[in-house]
């Protein structure tokens, strides 16, 4: 640990000073030469920042596909580690501001300058409330992260990476124990999720240590993964036997006891956990929620403004839904149509295989149409994968994992098929476009594949931008001629309604002090989603405050900017070029996105230069 601290401190210091470019030129080429030198120096600063960040996080390296000497390690989960990360942000920001005059930079470097400032501002605001985060919950809890990371992210390509897998099994106890200790300290300060959350966490933890080698029966997910990855290697059988035996020993002797300690701590907290749901109950809860809203939406909208916006959008979408209801000849109220869709067997799949086959069908059809709407398409493949059994009960209905830059791992659309009655046929098309193409896979793969932008832009994220793009992509599918079935088009509206309703229930829970039951009742009344879907969603918003508001706010801004451009450019407007303006910057806050589109309009539109490799 001491060597790690010295290394990370040295890297932090190396980010503070980047040699300024020398310039002895005069004449008309002097400005271009200065900008070229500054661009190179700024790139060095950001590369050093990225290296320092990665040195602090072996987990982040693995997500990037980087395999080196610390591939068998976990991150440090302590307040000191968070402090070092924040110190790195501030040191790099100070260095950037002291060494570079923003107005003297090229346009692309000014964008990087602005984005880094905005990113550090958000991280600094979040750092103040870092101890309000829940380390164990049903959405992002570390009890599920450990097996998910090993199974989905840790690559085993040779003997060394297999040994690193075993080493991570041996040392996951330290990783978990740090989180358990921190969770207990936060609980002592009354920072705990609501009591009902603990049943999910405990169930997840027990699932991880169920099955062989803990007990009789089929292999546990981690043990099965270890065996599969090791047995696929081209190494001697005796090495395979040794690695699997060592892994088994680590699972039984190191991992399992840590999970038992986790379960014991969660059961202890469960007995004293609060029954109120919103984060208003935390110290400075109102300020914390305001920070969360600003972080996720990148706006200064208040909770009351977001709540009112949600109510307006719900009314608008309800009107469009009534039009489709009349189109299909349903006689009754909108709420009665919702009930019809919830209860009708014809709107649900009987098997997982049937669901996945239809996902493949709609994505294949969409991929064929993408060149008519996009100049820039992803190189990375997209795979669709059911959520693993050990976490499917608590996980969300769908999510996406970006590909690695080197192509060793494709982009992955995870779909949760735990309960097929939560996965309506009517929503399948919109959900596939959101998580796959032209949604998250297209945007995030293109982002990863940008060549000449700093790593913090290639691999970072802005929720309102990314999730706004996902929701925008659902409606873009309508513009592209899809949703030919009116029930599927109703499902698209249902997905949009879902995001509008989130504005209401998220602010209702965390600002207006609604209970979980109030929020569930409101969502059931105003959306067509089945009860299980509604309940899981409300439970997500409770432990993930503010995040769900970003989707609709981001989507509305992208739609607004597109229509502004269409009106201003007239016949010169090309939607493919507009999409490049949005995509080729990587994720940006909404005000910066608006500035970019306005500048593009002012320039007369046209093709945007790509930063692809």
The DSSP result for 435-496, as a single string, is: HSTTTHHHHHHHHHTBSSS-HHHHH---HHHHHHHHHHHHHHHHHTT---SHHHHHHHHHHH
Give the strand order in the sheet containing 382-386: 382-386, 411-415, 398-401
Task: For residues 37 and 30, give the distance between their C-alpha atoms in angstroms, rounded to a whole number.
Answer: 11
Q: Is residue 46 part of a domain?
A: yes
Q: What average pLDDT does the structure give for the chain?
A: 94
pLDDT of the residue at 28: 55
Report yes or no on 284 lying in a domain. Answer: no
User: Model confidence over 379-398: pLDDT tens digits?
Assistant: 999 999 999 988 888 788 99
* One domain, residues 498 and 458: yes
Per-residue pLDDT tens digits for 336-388 = 999 999 999 999 999 999 999 999 999 999 999 999 999 999 999 999 999 99
Same domain, 123 and 35: yes
Structure tokens at 59: 């987990």
- Do residue 78 and residue 151 come from a single domain? no
Residues 85 and 113 in one domain: yes
Can you give the pLDDT at residue 20?
A: 53
| Distance, CA of 92 to CA of 115 (rounded, Å) | 13
Give the tens place of pLDDT for each residue, 271-294.
Answer: 999 999 999 999 999 999 999 999
Asked, for residue 581, whether it belongs to a domain, the answer is no
12: pLDDT strictly greater than 90: no
Q: How confident is the model at residue 202 (pLDDT cuts 50, 70, 90)?
A: very high
Per-residue pLDDT reduced to its tens digit, 534-548: 999 999 999 999 999
**371 inside domain:** yes
- Pairing state of beta strands 398-401 and 411-415? antiparallel
Q: What pLDDT, on the 0 to 100 scale, is given for residue 393?
A: 84
pLDDT of residue 15: 54
Are the C-beta atoms of residues 192 and 273 closer than 8 Å to each other?
A: yes
- The mean pLDDT value for 122-145 works out to 96
Q: Is residue 441 part of a domain?
A: yes
71 and 204 inside one domain:
no
pLDDT of 115 higher than 50: yes
239 and 354 share one domain: no
- Report yes or no on 339 lying in a domain: yes
Do 396 and 476 lie in a common domain?
yes
Proportion of the chain in helix, strand, coil states, percent, rounded to 5: 70, 5, 30
What pLDDT, on a 0 to 100 scale, did the predictor assign at position 378?
97
Please state the pTM of the whole predicted model.
0.92
Residue 440: how many CB atoms within 10 A of its CB? 25
Q: What is the DSSP string of 226-295?
A: HHHHHHTS-S-HHHHHHHHHHHHHHIIIIIHHHHHHHHHHHHHHHHH--S--SGGGSTTHHHHHHHHHHH
Average pLDDT for residues 475-483, to the nearest whole number? 98
User: What gap in Å lies between CA 435 and CA 327, rounded to an integer?
Assistant: 28
Please state which of the ranges 26-30, 154-158, 208-212 shows the lowest mean pLDDT: 26-30
Condensed to tens digits (0 to 9), the pLDDT of residues 22-41 reads 555 555 566 677 788 899 99
Q: Which pLDDT score, from 0 to 100, does residue 452 have?
A: 85
224 has a pLDDT exceeding 90: yes
Model confidence at 100, pLDDT cuts 50, 70, 90, reads very high
Mean pLDDT of 304-330: 98
Whole-number pLDDT of residue 613: 36
pLDDT at 27: 54
Question: Is the domain of 249 the same as that of 342?
Answer: no
In terms of domains, do 102 and 188 share one? no
Work out the pLDDT band at 554, boundaries 50, 70, 90: very high
Residues 6+ away with beta carbon under 8 Å from 65: 155, 404, 405, 406, 408, 409
Q: Clarify whether residues 361 and 268 are in a common domain.
A: no
The answer to whether residues 113 and 177 belong to one domain is: no
Give the end of a domain, one of 128, 151, 186: 128
The pLDDT value given to residue 451: 86
In the chain, what percentage of residues exceed pLDDT 90? 90
* Same domain? 120 vs 172: no
Q: Please say which residue of 105, 128, 151 terminates a domain.
A: 128
Q: Do 534 and 527 contact (CB within 8 A), yes or no? A: yes
The number of domains in the chain is: 3
The per-residue pLDDT for 11 is 45
Tell me the percentage of the chain whose pLDDT exceeds 70: 94
Note whether residue 465 is domain-resident.
yes
Handedness of CA 151, 153, 158, 163 (dihedral sign): negative
> Is 606 within a domain?
no
Residue 80 structural domain: 2-128
State how far the alpha carbon of 547 is from the alpha carbons of 26, 187, 299, 501, 510, in Å: 51, 23, 13, 13, 12
């Amino acid at each position: 640990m001491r060597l790690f601290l010295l290394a990370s401190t040295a890297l932090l210091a190396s980010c503070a000073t980047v040699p300024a470019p020398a310039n002895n030129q005069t004449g008309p080429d002097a400005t271009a030469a200065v900008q070229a030198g500054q661009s190179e120096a700024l790139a060095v600063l950001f590369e050093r920042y990225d290296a320092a960040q990665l040195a602090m996080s072996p987990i982040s390296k693995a997500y990037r596909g980087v395999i080196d000497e610390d591939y068998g390690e976990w991150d440090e989960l302590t307040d000191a580690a968070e402090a070092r990360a924040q110190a790195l942000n501030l040191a790099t920001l100070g260095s950037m501001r002291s060494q570079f005059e923003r107005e003297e930079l090229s346009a692309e470097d000014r964008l990087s300058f602005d984005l880094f400032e905005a990113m550090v501002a958000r991280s600094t605001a979040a750092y103040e409330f870092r101890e309000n985060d829940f380390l164990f919950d049903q959405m992002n809890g570390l009890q599920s992260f450990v097996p998910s990371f090993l199974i989905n992210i840790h690559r085993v390509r040779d003997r060394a990476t297999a040994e690193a897998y075993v080493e991570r099994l041996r040392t996951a106890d330290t990783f978990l124990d740090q989180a358990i200790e921190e969770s207990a300290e936060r609980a002592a300060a009354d920072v705990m999720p609501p009591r009902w959350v603990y049943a999910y966490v405990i169930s997840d933890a027990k699932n991880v240590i169920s099955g062989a080698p803990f007990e009789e029966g089929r292999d546990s997910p981690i043990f099965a993964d270890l065996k599969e990855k090791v047995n696929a290697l081209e190494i001697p059988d005796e090495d395979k036997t040794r690695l699997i035996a060592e892994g088994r020993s680590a699972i039984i002797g190191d991992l399992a006891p840590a999970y038992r300690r986790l379960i014991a701590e969660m059961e202890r907290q469960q007995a004293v956990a609060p029954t109120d749901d919103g984060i208003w109950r935390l110290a400075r809860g109102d300020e914390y929620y305001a920070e969360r809203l600003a972080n996720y939406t990148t706006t200064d909208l208040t909770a009351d403004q977001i709540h009112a916006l949600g109510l307006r959008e719900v009314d608008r979408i309800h009107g469009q839904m009534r039009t489709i209801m009349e189109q299909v000849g349903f006689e009754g109220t909108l709420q009665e149509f919702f009930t019809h869709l919830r209860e009708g067997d014809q709107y649900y799949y009987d098997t997982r295989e049937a669901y996945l086959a239809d996902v493949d069908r709609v994505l294949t059809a969409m991929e064929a149409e993408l060149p008519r709407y996009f100049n820039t398409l992803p190189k990375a493949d997209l795979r669709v994968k059911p959520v693993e059994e050990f976490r499917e009960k608590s996980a969300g209905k769908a999510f996406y994992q970006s590909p690695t830059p080197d192509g060793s791992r494709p982009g992955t659309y995870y779909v949760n098929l735990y309960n097929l009655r939560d996965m309506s046929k009517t929503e399948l098309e919109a959900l596939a476009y959101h998580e796959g193409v032209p949604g998250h896979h297209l945007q995030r793969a293109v982002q990863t594949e940008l060549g000449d932008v700093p790593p913090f832009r290639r691999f970072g994220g802005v929720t309102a931008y990314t999730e706004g793009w996902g929701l925008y992509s659902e409606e873009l599918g309508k513009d592209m001629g899809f949703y030919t079935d009116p029930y599927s088009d109703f499902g698209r509206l249902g997905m949009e309604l879902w995001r509008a309703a989130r504005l209401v229930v998220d602010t209702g829970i965390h600002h207006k002090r609604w209970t979980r039951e109030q929020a569930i009742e409101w969502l059931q009344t105003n959306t067509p989603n089945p009860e299980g879907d509604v309940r899981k969603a409300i439970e997500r918003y409770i432990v993930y405050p503010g995040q769900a508001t970003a989707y609709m706010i981001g989507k509305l801004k992208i739609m607004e900017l597109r229509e502004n451009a269409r009106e201003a450019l007239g016949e010169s407007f090309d939607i493919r070029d507009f999409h490049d303006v949005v995509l080729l910057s990587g994720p940006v806050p909404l005000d910066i996105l608006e500035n970019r589109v306005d500048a593009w309009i002012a320039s007369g539109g046209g093709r945007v230069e790509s930063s692809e490799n």
